[in-house]
Structure 1
Amino acid sequence: MEPRRLSIITGLSYWIIFFAAIFANFFVLEAIVESPLETVQSNASIVRFGILAFLITVVFDVVVAWGLYKLYQRNLWTGLSISFRMMHAAIMGVAIFALPFALKSTTETEILIQVDIFNTIWLIGLFFFGIHLILLGLIIRKPLIIAWFLTIAGIMYMVDTSAHFLISNYSDYQSIFLILVAIPSIIGEMSFAIWLILKGGKSSTEI
């Protein structure tokens, strides 16, 4: 497949991940946390769509990994970077297993336990995703500013995951860590996705 078409597919896959993740996290998972029993019992179909959305993110995570590998396969670090992204996708797939059990739970405590299991496993996956982003920042040659944001985002993912397990009162600093992760991640990954769609693969010197 020609690099230009491959770049567009990869960029569009990024955007599918963004929208699916936004729906699953902010419209479904947050609803479960705020009203566990009501959401699971009265809006079970929404929860099922949320699970499907998470599955879609895993599928297109693999598509992005494939696209990035093909685009940058001449770089020494690409294989390692993609391996860490695939680790993240696999761990995310395992995490999703907890959510169907939430649908079968009959108490708020049971539901929230399943959500907590999901979040904990996913959090571990994000540590490896952070390594992927750091390496990706080293791999892409331009735009340099995007490479820097990807690298910073990767570092912040790793720091945030580590802080969850190392700082006993992490919740006191949660909002700060969220900002430190979200800003470089959103700017870096969304900008990279747009660049892939609009300009990626046009010149062999880019890859």
Structure 2
Amino acid sequence: MPRVHVFARDHINTDEIIPARHLTTFEEKELAKYAMEDYDRDFVKRVRPGDIIVAGADFGCGSSREHAVWALRGAGVTAVIAPNFARIYYRNSINNGFLALECDGIVGAFQDGDDAEIDLPGGSITNTRTGQVLKFVPVPEFALDVQKAGGWLEYMRDHMPAPLEAEHLEARSAQAGHGHPGRTES
């Protein structure tokens, strides 16, 4: 059963999720070592695979780095639930097959360490300690498909149209800079 980690403050930015000084890699397991480091130094010691973060409004504001999603996912977090998200963080979550669930009242419904049950199809989360059930904004089917595939790139590999025919790659635009006359060697 997922355990909840509560970060109740609004406007937790991507520099707090993964500090810029650690952006020397894109490997999730390496980034995971520093997840939430500047907010809570002991977070990575407590988090277990499958855990959930409950956060305040505008989670993921700031820089548009995908590393913020990768660090949390690498640490084992399966979802972040907040009243709302910075739009770029929300889109990065979808693109990376990571759940960012919008739910009013979520911060007041959980204490750090509570266990939760998430019903994705039903759009609800239950605090198993108190029995309180909250509804979250349903995840669009497309986002669930991307999440099931493991991310946007994985989804596109499964849904990509047939490869372009060779003659399309020989088009004038490919040879001479998008339709502009190319240089000819004399």
Question: Is the helix fraction higher in 1 or 2?
Answer: 1
Larger radius of gyration: 2
Question: Is the strand fraction higher in 1 or 2?
Answer: 2
Q: Using CA pairs below 8 Å that are at least 6 residues apart, which structure has the higher relative contact order?
A: 1
TM (norm. structure 1) is: 0.25
TM (norm. structure 2) is: 0.27
